[in-house]
């Protein structure tokens, strides 16, 4: 009974927190803005630590987000669905091959966008894993980094990803990086390097936006 209550309650509490933060943070956007009506489709890549506010960055998206099959992933998946997003369950550590096949088949049917955490679900933190490259190769979709940052935030240093929680009533920025195309016959190592560089550049642009006056409070 307690487990069922948590499964129902936790995603709704997270959704309320996200809604509150979305309303109180003053967002700016760099590098364009996500337009769900645009004909181009992408694999939107964002670090696991910054998944909390991706609903703001990709508002209106009717694509699919890849979420791990772990219990915490279930809370995230349910929260995203409450926000109107669709999910596919799987990761590099559990159900990865099946999830990749499902995403490829889904793209063939729907020609949709995807959201993915290229370092999830267990890291290494902020390092692109091969699954993102494989998805790009099999779908032909370019990988576009999306990273948000805020002027004031908490970082949970006890979590493997140093999970990022923005403080309310602060300023935020969403940076849409340059898309990286990966040919079907591309060398995996070179493709990983290109995507990693794009992710790092986008993160640097986001994190440096408030560097002069930003504040970080670490939570253990």
Q: Residue 136: its pLDDT value, please?
A: 97
Q: Residue 123: its pLDDT value, please?
A: 87
Q: Where are the alpha helices (DSSP H) in 67-141?
A: 71-82, 96-110, 130-139
Number of domains in the chain: 1
Handedness of CA 42, 48, 53, 55 (dihedral sign): positive
Residue 20 has pLDDT above 70, yes or no: yes
Tokens 């894993």 identify what position? Answer: 129
Lowest mean pLDDT among 38-42, 64-68, 142-146, 173-177: 64-68
**For helices 2-24 and 71-82, what crossing angle results, to 10°?**
50
Is residue 196 within 8 Å of 127, Cβ to Cβ?
Answer: yes
Is residue 53 within 8 Å of 149, Cβ to Cβ?
Answer: no
Q: Residue 94: its pLDDT value, please?
A: 60
Q: Which residues pair with 217 in a beta bridge?
A: 154
Q: What is the pTM of this model?
A: 0.91
Is residue 114 within 8 Å of 104, Cβ to Cβ?
Answer: no
Q: What is the dihedral of CA 189, 174, 149, 85, to 10 degrees?
A: -80
Q: What is the mean pLDDT of the chain?
A: 91
Residue 220 has pLDDT above 70, yes or no: no
The predicted-structure confidence for 171-190, as pLDDT tens digits, reads as follows 999 999 999 999 999 999 99
Residue 98 makes CB contacts below 8 A (sequence gap 6+) with 90
Tell me how many degrees the CA angle 73-111-90 measures, rounded to the nearest 5.
20
Q: Residue 71: its pLDDT value, please?
A: 66
Is residue 74 within 8 Å of 122, Cβ to Cβ?
Answer: no
Residue 2 has pLDDT above 60, yes or no: yes
Is residue 64 within 8 Å of 112, Cβ to Cβ?
Answer: yes
Q: Residue 159: its pLDDT value, please?
A: 93
The predicted-structure confidence for 200-210, as pLDDT tens digits, reads as follows 999 999 999 99
Return the DSSP state at 43: E
Domain that holds residue 108: 2-219
The predicted-structure confidence for 69-107, as pLDDT tens digits, reads as follows 776 778 888 888 888 889 998 765 566 788 899 999 999
Residue 3 has pLDDT above 90, yes or no: no
The predicted-structure confidence for 99-135, as pLDDT tens digits, reads as follows 899 999 999 999 999 999 999 788 899 999 999 999 9
């Amino acid at each position: 009974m307690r487990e069922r209550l948590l499964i129902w309650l936790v995603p709704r509490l997270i959704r309320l927190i996200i809604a509150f933060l979305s309303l109180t943070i003053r967002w700016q956007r760099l590098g364009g803005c996500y337009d769900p009506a645009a004909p181009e489709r992408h694999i939107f890549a964002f670090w696991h630590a910054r998944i909390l506010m991706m609903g703001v960055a990709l508002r209106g998206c009717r694509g699919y987000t890849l979420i791990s099959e772990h219990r915490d992933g279930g809370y995230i998946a349910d929260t995203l669905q409450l926000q109107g997003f669709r999910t596919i369950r799987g990761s590099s550590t559990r159900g990865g091959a099946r999830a990749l096949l499902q995403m490829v088949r889904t793209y063939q049917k729907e020609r949709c966008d995807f959201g993915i955490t290229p370092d999830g679900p267990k890291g290494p933190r902020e390092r692109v894993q091969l699954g993102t490259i494989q998805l790009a190769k099999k779908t032909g979709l370019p990988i576009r980094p999306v990273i948000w940052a805020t002027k004031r935030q908490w970082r949970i240093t006890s979590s493997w990803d140093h999970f990022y929680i923005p403080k309310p009533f602060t300023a935020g920025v969403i940076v849409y990086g340059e898309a990286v195309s990966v040919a079907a016959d591309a060398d995996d190592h070179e493709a990983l390097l290109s995507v990693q560089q794009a992710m790092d550049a986008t993160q640097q642009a986001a994190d440096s936006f408030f560097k002069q006056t930003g504040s970080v409070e670490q939570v253990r």
